[in-house]
């Protein structure tokens, strides 16, 4: 199976997961703040850290599985384009405090998620070695 097909399969899974998060976030938290995008970018970055750290230290996935998970699934699950649309929407609404909070959190939390994921893998892998 070609890498493109693997990416497509992962992309479909990631897009479905992202849509599910959006539906649940709106249901539970409302739409006054882009909670879903903030969550998927943070959770996706943390998952990227966990998986890439584990691959580097322990697992050995084929190039097809890596393409499916990292490019397809996580690429479709997280999204910077939605982030920029959310920022533009908050700007158009003159919601300056929400805009600044969202922009700041969207930069800091995904980076923290990636670092936490890498740290967790190193902690667990070195403890179990």
Tell me the percentage of the chain whose pLDDT exceeds 70: 99
Q: Measure the CA–CA gap between 13 and 56, rounded to whole angstroms.
A: 24
What is the dihedral sign for C-alpha 38, 80, 20, 43?
negative
pTM: 0.75
Q: Measure the CA–CA gap between 18 and 62, rounded to whole angstroms.
A: 25
Q: What is the mean pLDDT of residues 79-106?
A: 91
Tell me the percentage of the chain whose pLDDT exceeds 90: 60
Residue ranges of alpha helices (H) inside the chain are 3-29, 35-57, 63-66, 74-77, 80-92, 96-127
Segment 11-62, tens digit of pLDDT: 999 999 999 999 999 999 998 999 999 999 899 888 888 888 888 788 888 8
Segment 16-26, tens digit of pLDDT: 999 999 999 99
- Cβ pair 84, 102 in contact under 8 A: no
């Amino acid at each position: 199976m070609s890498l493109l097909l693997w990416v497509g399969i992962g992309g479909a899974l990631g897009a479905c997961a992202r849509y599910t998060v959006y539906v649940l976030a709106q249901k539970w938290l409302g739409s006054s703040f882009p909670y879903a995008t903030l969550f998927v970018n943070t959770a996706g970055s943390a998952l990227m850290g966990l998986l890439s750290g584990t691959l580097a230290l322990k697992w050995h996935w084929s190039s097809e599985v890596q393409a499916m998970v990292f490019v397809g699934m996580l690429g479709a699950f997280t999204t910077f384009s939605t982030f920029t649309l959310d920022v533009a929407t908050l700007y158009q609404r003159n919601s300056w405090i929400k805009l600044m909070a969202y922009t700041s959190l969207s930069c800091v939390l995904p980076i923290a998620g990636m670092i936490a994921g890498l740290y967790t893998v190193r902690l667990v892998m070195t403890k179990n070695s």
